[in-house]
Amino acid sequence: MKMTDFLEIYIHIPFCVKKCNYCDFLSAPADRETQRSYMEALLEEIAGRAVEARGKKVVSIFIGGGTPSIVEPKLLASVVEQVKGYYAVAEDAEITMELNPGTADEEALVCYLEAGINRLSIGLQSTVDTELKTLGRIHTFEQFLKVYEMARKVGFVNVNVDLMSALPGQSLNSYRHTLKTVISLTPLPEHISAYSLIVEEGTVFGALAEKGALQLPTEDTERQMYEETEEILLKKGYHRYEISNYAKEGYACRHNCGYWTRVPYLGFGIGAASLMEETRFVNDSNLKEYLKAPLQARKDIQKLSIQEQMEEFMFLGLRMTCGVSEQAFAEKFGKSVQDIYGSVIAQNEKDGLLVRADGRICLTHRGLDLSNYVMAQFLF
């Protein structure tokens, strides 16, 4: 099957207990009635869009947020069931759900597993409670441990743990402590996502930064955190397969890999983005309007030009440590990557930022550090 025969599905749950101090995602608290109405609208949208996926095999489903685990488990199960009822979901499809340790119990975890969810992504961020409080998280490290143990007990065998570095008040030693504590879990997480904090406008941290009241680690300390992440995780058998993602053998997130290799995907729910037939579109972020007419939520429809497709092929693909395939580029566009980007590639090879070998073009270790600089050069 060709890549265009596959399909990924993203389902956005925009609810949370409270906004974290760093969060600029489309999310907010909501009462049970609003949550139920939203889940009903999701069912309608999922059913109504099924014709667009005709002939495609769904290889991954990702339920993100917000905090999906804040919603009644049976409602989440009904959404997964709806997808399976209207779409051709592969038997071995990866079905991921994001989970906040402060919003789950054993009964809920059993419900998720029975619904077919086979991968959990748990937002820990730090093992240090004072740092969690600074972030505005609603859970403690102890709560994470209980949920992690319960997830293993009920039968989850594919678990990701999200971590953050360069936090206000965080030291290099406290970040090391977080990393080493997480890789001491039994069993080890199959996957670890390690992100450096980005202070966004419109967040609590953003407001503090504007006032000069946000004390972040120095650039040198942040740099050392970044470097030690790979060093520490490598010793425990984790492979860095993308700029911020590490996995045990066979456990790279298929949904994310699909996104970076431009597998078509459909997004359901407010603010959810899609890529179908080389056309990008996004659902409106207005909750009230979505509840009224979920099948009329699409906006910002953009048919990608060949140049835009080439740009995406390169700057998304280069996020992965395996890089991009020269053969795949030629097969898709009818031209060699050398014809289109030869001078850009040559200059970055000379600068030690790219390496070309075995039919692939990859970022070097230094190139990964300067990835934004390198990727920008592939824009026309």
**Structural domains for the chain:** 3-259 (3.20.20.70), 306-380 (1.10.10.920)
Assess whether pLDDT exceeds 70 at residue 279: yes
pLDDT at 224 over 90: yes
Instruction: Please state, for a pLDDT cut of 70, what percent of the chain lies above it.
Output: 100
As a whole-number percent, the residues of the chain with pLDDT over 90 amount to 98
Per-residue pLDDT tens digits for 132-148: 999 999 999 999 999 99
Query: If you average pLDDT over residues 45-72, what whole number do you get?
Result: 97
Name the pTM for this structure.
Answer: 0.96
Helix axes 141-154, 106-115, angle to 10 degrees: 40
* DSSP secondary structure string for all residues of 272-295: -EEEETTEEEEE---HHHHHH-GG
Query: What pLDDT is stored for residue 215 in this prediction?
Result: 94
- DSSP, collapsed to helix, strand or coil, labels residue 99 as strand
Q: Map tokens 């990008």 to a residue.
A: 280
* pLDDT at 3 (0 to 100): 73
Determine contact, residues 157/119, Cβ cutoff 8 Å: no
For 77-130, how does the pLDDT look when each residue is reduced to its tens digit (9 = 90+)?
Answer: 999 999 999 999 999 999 999 999 999 999 999 999 999 999 999 999 999 999
**From residue 257, how far is each of 103, 247, 251, 355 by CA, in Å?**
28, 12, 11, 20
Q: What is the pLDDT of residue 1?
A: 67
Could you tell me how far CA 356 lies from the centroid of its own chain? 27
Which class for 54: exposed (0-12), middle (13-18), buried (19 or more C-beta within 10 A)?
exposed
For the residues 222-242, what does the mean pLDDT come to? 97
pLDDT bin (cut points 50, 70, 90) of residue 2 is: confident
Smallest CA-to-CA distance from 144 within 166, 128, 168 is with: 128
- Residues with Cβ within 8 Å of 207's Cβ and at least 6 positions away in sequence, in order, are none
Structure tokens at 12: 């956005």
